[in-house]
Structure 1
Amino acid sequence: MQHGPVVRRRKLGAELRTLRAGAGLTSGQAARLVGWHQSKVSRIETGTSGVKPADVRLLLDAYAVHDAQLRRLLLALAGSEDGDGRHRWWHAYRGVLPPTYRDFISLESQATAMRTLETTVVPGLLQTAEYARAVTRAAVDGLDEERLDALVEVRLARQHVLRADPPLELNAVLDEAVLHREVGGPEVMARQLERLVEAARLPQVRLQVLPFSAGAHIGVTGPFVIFSFSHTTDLDVVVLDHLTSSLHLDRKEDLEAYTEAFDALRFHALSAEDSSDFIAGLRQSR
């Protein structure tokens, strides 16, 4: 099983190797430029060892990489807390969030686009506070109110990516069951449906409903998320959530398989316009 830090380290190494080659440098020449032994450059490029953000900056300078957005992304992959000069807000919740969740938020905050299939609950980026509280209480047993409040705060803070400049592009396919499952009760669910109708109007959000009439489909194996990043598809990653951990897939064949699966789901789902009308109809019938 590959976890986020391992995947990001390998992706970072591959991207640095590509940038070095693009600069016309051998690993030995790059090492001499920054005052290292060649073996250190090789370990970084193969992802066999971690790399400090300061070392990434040295390499990017040596390779004459000046693109600010690319530098921020690569520094984030190295674990920089301020790749763009700003504190990562979720660090304030380190004592509350498990490592896999922090890792997911890190990917989400750096991605330019997110494709997600949800089969049980509304995507976190589109949840109301009441819905988020009900989902969190059900998912994590024995939560005290203070920790529950903190986790809901995190869920809502994550939604800032939809208001960022530029915003995250969210493409979500929801199984119809998501809309009928009364999380938190009828009133909470009614407000959640209203929230989905509002979100569907945002230009950066494309929301589609996969109706029961579609029958069995490739998504019955479970929900998944595909994160995409600017500049290169080599940094894209699929995340599968399990009860106690997350699985990260970054092999080309895995990405192609999940991309094809998502495209198939979109094809069988209602159009964005019909989906919005469908959700609004469910809301009015309550």
Structure 2
Amino acid sequence: MQYGPAVRRRKLGTELRLLRSRVGLTSIEAARRVGWHQSKVSRIETGSSGVKPADVQRLLDAYEVRDAELRELLLALAGGEDGGGRQNWWHAYRGVLPPTYRDFISLESQAGGMCTLETSVVPGLLQTPEYARAVTRAALEGVADDKLDALVEVRIARQDVLRADPPLRLHAILDEAVLRRRVGGPEVMARQLARLSDAAALPQVRLQVLPFTAGEHIGLTGPFVIFSFPNTADLDVVVLDHLTSSLYLERKEDLQAYVEAFNALRIHALSPGESLHYIAGIAAGA
């Protein structure tokens, strides 16, 4: 059984290998400490094999890792459980959530920061329930009402990361098309625009609008998300969403390219203050 997406397994394995090296253990010596065969340690470190949170905990104990935040992060990467072995809230929705969506929520819940470019819809963390329902219904034509209800519940529950302690730091750049597309109709969209204005006032949220007048820009290639983690940049990852799957990019060259792209878009976009005025203008019918 595989625990977590391949990108997380490889990143987890890399971090465990570094921790082992810091205490001066070979993979053979580490295996002896926990009572395993050396091949199991190697498979975990290369990400070629899944690993249970309990096994990660044994390795962290063997490597004398005392940093509580780092332990919690690595245990979560191992399989969607927290440091106490408790399943996270989204496991209650396993029957309706595809694995790629569960992986995304797991990354989102553990990240310290999230930078996102959206070209079509409002980011999930900033959606109203009515807007989320309209988007989900359009994406999953013919979906049953009970499943639709559950997916909207998940979308709204995800927003708790913005109220966590510490909260996720969200920097969202929205193409103007996101604001002008009347998802759900005029009333739903009016409430959604008001929600964006309220969210932009939060200290952990930075919102910028990329107006049509900016012309052509690198964001035309499509939306993306960059997750950054509090303990180590080696766990940072880019996520590209497709209709039926998600692509996780972890190579340093890919990360650097998308970080540079996001920074370029920040320059092209309106400032946060100007963006608020722009949203208010669209809401007023401008």
TM-score range, shorter chain: over 0.9
Identity of aligned residues (%): 76
Partner of 1:236: 236
Which amino acid is 1:139 matched to?
A
- Structure 1 distance, partners of 2:171, 2:37, is 44
Return the TM-score normalized by structure 1: 0.96
Partner of 2:184: 184
Q: Deviations over 1:87-109 (max 9, x none)?
A: 31111111111111111111111
User: 1:42: Cα distance to partner?
Assistant: 1.2
Partner of 1:135: 135
CA contact (8 A) 1:4 1:100 kept: no
Partner of 2:254: 254
Partner of 2:30: 30
1:280/1:85 CA distance change after superposition, 3 Å: farther
SS at match of 2:141: coil
User: 1:179: Cα distance to partner?
Assistant: 0.4
Which amino acid is 1:70 matched to?
L
Contiguous gaps of at least 5 residues in structure 1: none
CA contact (8 A) 1:210 1:268 kept: yes
Which amino acid is 1:11 matched to?
K
Return the TM-score normalized by structure 2: 0.96
Q: Deviations over 1:119-140 (max 9, x none)?
A: 0000000000110011011010
- Is 2:44 the partner of 1:20? no
Q: Deviations over 1:197-247 (max 9, x none)?
A: 000000000000001111011011110001111111110111000011110
Which amino acid is 1:46 matched to?
T
Q: Deviations over 1:21-58 (max 9, x none)?
A: 11121212211211222222111111111111111111
Partner of 1:168: 168
Instruction: Write the mapping of 1:265-280 to structure 2, written as runs, cut at 5 A.
Output: 265-280=265-280
SS at match of 2:64: coil
1:84/1:201 CA distance change after superposition, 3 Å: farther
Which amino acid is 1:67 matched to?
D
Which amino acid is 1:249 matched to?
L
- Structure 2 distance, partners of 1:217, 1:84, is 45
Partner of 1:96: 96
SS at match of 1:17: helix
SS at match of 1:173: strand
Partner of 2:82: 82
- Structure 2 distance, partners of 1:63, 1:284, is 59
Contiguous gaps of at least 5 residues in structure 2: none
User: 1:83: Cα distance to partner?
Assistant: 2.9
- Structure 1 distance, partners of 2:204, 2:221, is 27
Greater displacement, 238-247 / 78-87: 78-87
SS at match of 2:59: helix
SS at match of 2:92: helix
Partner of 1:145: 145
CA contact (8 A) 1:4 1:248 kept: no
- Structure 1 distance, partners of 2:179, 2:80, is 38
- Structure 2 distance, partners of 1:270, 1:32, is 57
- Structure 1 distance, partners of 2:4, 2:108, is 12
Partner of 1:54: 54
Which amino acid is 1:192 matched to?
Q
- Structure 2 distance, partners of 1:261, 1:8, is 23
- Paired residue total: 284
Partner of 1:63: 63
- Structure 2 distance, partners of 1:186, 1:129, is 15
1:34/1:169 CA distance change after superposition, 3 Å: same
CA contact (8 A) 2:4 2:50 kept: no
- Structure 1 distance, partners of 2:224, 2:153, is 23
SS at match of 1:167: coil
User: 1:85: Cα distance to partner?
Assistant: 5.0
- Structure 2 distance, partners of 1:83, 1:216, is 46
- Structure 1 distance, partners of 2:100, 2:14, is 23
